[in-house]
């Protein structure tokens, strides 16, 4: 936990400034308040677990800290450990509470109050509570808890001014009566009431810090607290009506397979239509060909050739085939940026709607087969935006084992927005059978690798336990802001790496090494993958970034089957440099290189298999590939299942014998 | 009866959650042992969706097989 303590030091707080901590259950609006108080932007979305890292900013002379949402503070998972330490070190806690889910949220409120820290409550989402026919007695709530309570609608900034004023009135609330004597006894040994509480509740980490044994009474304390909270809720809430609104019904439909699967299919189809056809075809056609290659490139060439010859070494590096000023700029701005913007528009809309947790419940069954649970669908879908980001989001998974599986699958088979955009655009030109085949191959690879990992890795994955937020109409404002932030980050991150990659390729070309490499790799590219030897350039570019590699493929003239092979191989190819950096950070020095090399092997193995099958059955190439991969997947799944049953039997026999 | 055998629309009482960590988490959610919940939806072979007041919670199949319930209505 050294990390969290360092974190406390890192935030510099001016003299007599306070540490104001925003705390609350997941998905209640903490980050909206953080943005409003500090003027910064951190992600806001409608699913539990958006914030996974601490953010901090300034509000006047105070520091404001945004925390990951938790249902209680203890050591159950990473977010809780992080939130716990930040809350324990707070001067003031602003407890953000979802008025619609008061019963759930007040558990944390009471726990925070029991730590003895000064608290003020933002009773948020009162608009939704009113719409659902709930009336909350704010004054009574404040009296029962012993802290100021301010009703708010964070997204409309309603109640924000009142909340700011109330921060100065924050005070320690009414501690659960039955805890008082225990806390007093503990106080002789542990100075801070908050830490004393957590030790009583059996938190192993905090207990160890004080050299004490964690207390055995967690459940007793929890149950008493739950009872107190239920009592308070029964006093302050008055229900006026409880009709099922349209959004509740729609939410139900999304879950039920008969309607949920078609809804999911339509959503994915729309995404493909928008990204693959509209953006990749129409918009990029305009930005890449008309704007960049039509106007920008001739202009910059004209400018540069005033100073040097185009075929001089520097000329080639600047404005040649892989030129820093030509290709890099065209790819980044003309080709990839529109795709990235399009993607984030859709992803942000999905994130804001509350659909993601429902997809998680719907596909839970499928994911348990590969050792994950439904929650993993959230990082997987976000992976289509940016794998780097999604790798961090896997923190919301329940166990180390699940993270390991999810991260490997992400790094292996989930193409990021820029890459997927290029792929979707190229596939759209090939027609439906090839699109279906691409999806099938990538999907079967996911299933086979996931099943194998699930079998090989020791331990057991956790089961799904997730709360479903209400469906909401996405807020245009937030969607645009998020898209803007994310796209800007893409430019910031991708441009230097791209430039570096272009420089590398140009250098290789100018020195003639590229040609040698192409010939060297020919057995692999020409012999095994059945591609022209120039495709080696795309793969070398792909080592830098996969989207860069995919973009490189657009330059080659390939027949449909070759295009498919190239796309499959580049999809499964190594994660980009940025993703590798995060992988090293999140997974360490042993696992990260393993993932990198593993991707190489799988990519060429799968791509080559497809190419060889197509070569062997030239007249029925698509059918042959589809059939082989389906059979292979079914076989793998069956064999593993069989092995597992046998292992279980053996274990049972050993127990009995 | 186990939670995995619940029927859609049934109101049940959570009787026993064997896993300690899940039990604590359930108390926080407000669906701890002794609480009354309604089964809103069952995804075939997949999670059971429970509702308590306005809170909807998806419980994975494996977990549902471990949780004991009593029928209330
Ligand atoms: N209707 C309504 N929606 C709100 C209100 N406040 C926040 N939201 C929405 O609630 C969702 C969650 O907001 P966030 O700020 O991401 O919540 P958070 O507490 O930071 O969530 P985590 O980071 O997951 O813990 C978003 O979709 C917001 O637009 C409110 O007062 N009324
Ligand atoms: Mg947040």
Cα(A586)–Cα(A122) distance, integer angstroms: 34
| Pocket perturbation via mutation, ligand 1, pick of A21, A23, A29 by most ligand atoms within 8 A of CB | A29
Among residues A36, A81, A78, A29, the alpha carbon closest in space to that of A57 is found at: A36
- Two tokens at A657? 């014998």
Residue A585 lies in a domain: yes
Contact call for residues A443 and A437 (beta carbons, < 8 A)? no
Average pLDDT per 10 consecutive residues for chain A, totaling 657 residues: 38 78 95 94 84 87 92 86 91 96 94 95 94 92 97 96 95 89 82 90 89 88 94 90 76 91 92 83 87 92 89 86 86 86 90 93 90 90 82 84 92 84 86 92 92 89 89 92 91 85 86 90 92 89 81 86 93 82 84 89 94 92 93 92 85 75
Say which residues have a Cβ less than 8 Å from residue A144's Cβ, sequence separation at least 6: A174, A232, A235, A236
The Cα A636–Cα A446 span in angstroms is 12
Query: What is the span of the domain harbouring residue A207?
Result: 2-239
- Residues of chain A with Cβ-Cβ distance to B45 below 8 Å are 365
Tell whether A343 and A422 lie within a shared domain. Answer: no
SS3 A176: coil
Q: What ipTM did this prediction achieve?
A: 0.93
Chain A residue with CA closest to B20: the answer is A219
Contact state of B58 with A365 under an 8 Å Cβ cutoff: no
DSSP letter assigned to residue A13: -
Q: What is the DSSP letter of A210?
A: T
Is there a single domain that holds both residue A539 and residue A573? yes
The Cα A452–Cα A133 span in angstroms is 50
CATH code of the domain in which B39 resides: 2.30.30.90
Q: How many domains does chain B have?
A: 1
In a domain, A490, yes or no: no
Same domain, A577 and A627: yes
Give every CB contact of residue A564 below 8 A, 6+ residues apart in sequence.
Answer: A430, A434, A437, A438, A610
Question: Quick one: A528 and A645 in the same domain?
Answer: yes
Count the residues in chain B: 73
- Residue A28 Cβ contacting ligand 1 at under 6 Å: yes
Chain B residues with CB under 8 Å of A257 CB are: 43-44, 46
Q: Whose CA is nearest to atom 30 of ligand 1?
A: A125
A155 in the same domain as A106: yes
Q: Count of domains in chain A? A: 3
Nearest in space to A122 (alpha carbons), one of A146, A83, A93? A93
Distance A6 CA to ligand 1 centre (A): 28
pLDDT, one tens digit per residue, over B4-58 is 999 999 999 999 999 888 899 899 999 999 999 999 999 988 999 999 888 899 9
**Distance (Å) from the C-alpha of residue A91 to the closest C-alpha of chain B?**
25
Domain hosting residue B66, numbered range? 3-71
Domain co-membership, A90 together with A221: yes
Q: A interface toward B at CB cutoff 8 Å?
A: 71-72, 74, 76, 100-101, 103-104, 107-108, 132, 218-219, 222-223, 226, 230, 251-252, 255-257, 260, 357, 360-362, 364-365, 368, 373-374, 463-468, 470
Asked if residue A140 and residue A25 are part of one domain, the reply reads: yes
Token duo for residue B4? 């995995």
Q: Which residues partner with B16 through β-bridges?
A: B68
Residues in contact with A649: Cβ distance below 8 Å, sequence separation at least 6, in sequence order = none
Q: Would you say the CB of residue A154 lies under 6 angstroms from ligand 1?
A: yes
Indicate the residue among A326, A350, A368 that finishes a domain. A368
Tell me: do A52 and A189 sit in the same domain.
Answer: yes
Q: Which pLDDT does position A244 carry in this prediction?
A: 66
**CATH number for the domain harbouring residue A198:** 3.40.50.300
Between the CA of A375 and the centroid of ligand 1 the distance, in Å, is: 19
Ligand nearest to the CA of A55: 2
Residues A201 and A266 in one domain: no
Strands of A392-485, DSSP E: 465-468
- How would you classify the pairing of strands B11-16 and B36-42? antiparallel
* Pair A321, A275 in one domain: yes
In a domain, A302, yes or no: yes
Question: Does residue A583 share a domain with residue A514?
Answer: yes
B-chain CB neighbours of A357 within 8 Å are: 58
The helix/strand count (H/E) of chain B reads as 2, 5
Question: Would you say residue A445 lies in a domain?
Answer: yes
On whether both A331 and A414 belong to a single domain, the answer is no
Q: How many CB pairs (< 8 A) connect A and B?
A: 112
Count H helices and E strands in chain A, helices first: 33, 9
- Please give the Cα distance from A132 to A108 (Å, whole number): 23
A29/A181 Cα distance (integer angstroms): 35
Yes or no: say if A355 and A471 are a contact pair by the CB < 8 Å rule: yes
For A26, what's the count of Cα atoms within 13 Å in the CB-facing half-sphere?
23
């Amino acid at each position: 936990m050294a990390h969290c303590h360092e974190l406390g030091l890192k935030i510099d707080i001016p003299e007599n400034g306070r540490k104001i901590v925003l705390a609350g259950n997941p998905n209640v609006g903490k980050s909206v308040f953080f943005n409003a108080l500090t003027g910064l932007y951190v992600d806001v979305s409608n699913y539990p677990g958006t914030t996974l890292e601490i953010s901090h900013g300034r509000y006047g002379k105070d520091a404001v800290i945004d925390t990951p949402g938790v249902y209680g503070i203890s050591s159950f998972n990473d977010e809780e450990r992080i939130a716990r330490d930040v809350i324990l070190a707070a001067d003031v806690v602003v407890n953000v509470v979802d008025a619609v889910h008061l019963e759930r949220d007040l558990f944390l409120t009471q726990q925070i109050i029991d730590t003895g820290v000064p608290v003020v409550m933002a009773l948020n989402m009162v608009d939704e509570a009113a719409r659902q026919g709930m009336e909350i007695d704010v004054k009574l709530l404040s009296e029962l808890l012993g802290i100021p309570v301010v009703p708010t609608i964070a997204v409309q900034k309603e109640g924000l001014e009142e909340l700011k004023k109330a921060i100065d009135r924050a005070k320690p609330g009414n501690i659960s009566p039955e805890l008082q004597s225990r806390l007093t006894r503990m106080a002789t040994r542990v100075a801070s009431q908050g830490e004393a509480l957590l030790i009583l509740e059996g938190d192993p980490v905090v207990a160890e810090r004080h050299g004490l044994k964690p207390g055995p009474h967690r459940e007793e304390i929890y149950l008493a607290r739950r009872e107190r909270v239920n009592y308070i809720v029964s006093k302050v809430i008055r229900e006026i009506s409880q009709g099922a609104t349209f959004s509740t019904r729609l939410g139900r439909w999304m879950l039920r397979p008969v309607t949920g699967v078609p809804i999911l299919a339509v959503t994915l189809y729309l995404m493909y239509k928008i990204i693959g056809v509209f953006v990749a075809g129409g918009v990029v056609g305009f930005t890449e060909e008309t704007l960049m290659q039509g106007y920008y490139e001739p202009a910059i060439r004209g400018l540069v050739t005033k100073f040097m010859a185009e075929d001089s070494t520097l000329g080639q590096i600047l404005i040649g085939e892989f030129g820093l000023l030509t290709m890099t700029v065209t790819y980044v701005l003309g080709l990839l940026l529109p795709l990235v913007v399009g993607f984030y528009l859709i992803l942000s809309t999905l994130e804001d709607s509350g659909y993601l947790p429902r997809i998680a419940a719907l596909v839970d069954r499928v994911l348990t087969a590969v050792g994950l649970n439904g929650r993993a669908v959230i990082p997987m879908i976000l992976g289509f935006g940016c794998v780097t980001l999604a790798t961090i989001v896997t923190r919301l998974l329940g166990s180390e084992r699940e993270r390991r599986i999810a991260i490997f699958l992400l790094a292996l088979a989930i193409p990021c927005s820029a890459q997927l955009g290029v792929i979707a655009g190229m596939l759209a030109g090939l027609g439906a059978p090839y699109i279906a085949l691409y999806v099938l191959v990538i999907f079967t690879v996911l299933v086979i690798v996931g099943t194998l990992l699930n079998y090989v890795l020791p331990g057991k994955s956790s089961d799904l336990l997730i709360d479903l937020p209400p469906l909401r109409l996405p807020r245009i404002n937030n969607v645009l802001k998020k898209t803007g932030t994310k796209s800007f980050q893409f430019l910031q991150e991708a441009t230097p790496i791209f430039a570096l990659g272009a420089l590398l390729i140009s250098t290789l070309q100018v020195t003639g090494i590229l040609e040698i490499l192409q010939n060297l790799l020919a057995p692999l590219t020409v012999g095994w993958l059945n591609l022209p030897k120039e495709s080696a350039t795309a793969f070398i570019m792909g080592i830098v970034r996969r989207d860069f590699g995919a973009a490189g493929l657009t330059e080659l003239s390939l027949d449909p089957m070759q295009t498919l092979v190239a796309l499959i191989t580049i999809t499964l190819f190594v994660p980009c440099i940025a993703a590798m950096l995060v992988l090293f950070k999140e997974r360490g020095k042993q696992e990260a290189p393993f993932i990198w090399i593993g991707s190489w092997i799988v990519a060429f193995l799968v791509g080559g298999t497809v190419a060889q099958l197509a070569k062997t059955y030239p007249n029925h190439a698509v059918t042959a590939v589809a059939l082989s991969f389906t059979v292979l997947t079914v076989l793998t799944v069956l064999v593993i299942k069989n092995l597992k049953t046998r292992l279980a039997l053996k274990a049972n026999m050993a127990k009995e014998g | 009866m186990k939670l995995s055998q619940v029927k859609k629309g049934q109101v049940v009482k959570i009787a026993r959650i064997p896993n300690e960590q899940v039990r604590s988490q359930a108390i926080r959610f407000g669906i701890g042992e002794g609480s009354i919940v309604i089964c809103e939806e069952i995804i075939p072979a997949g999670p059971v969706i429970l509702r308590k007041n306005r809170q909807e919670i998806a419980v994975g199949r494996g977990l549902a097989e471990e949780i004991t319930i009593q029928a209330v209505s």
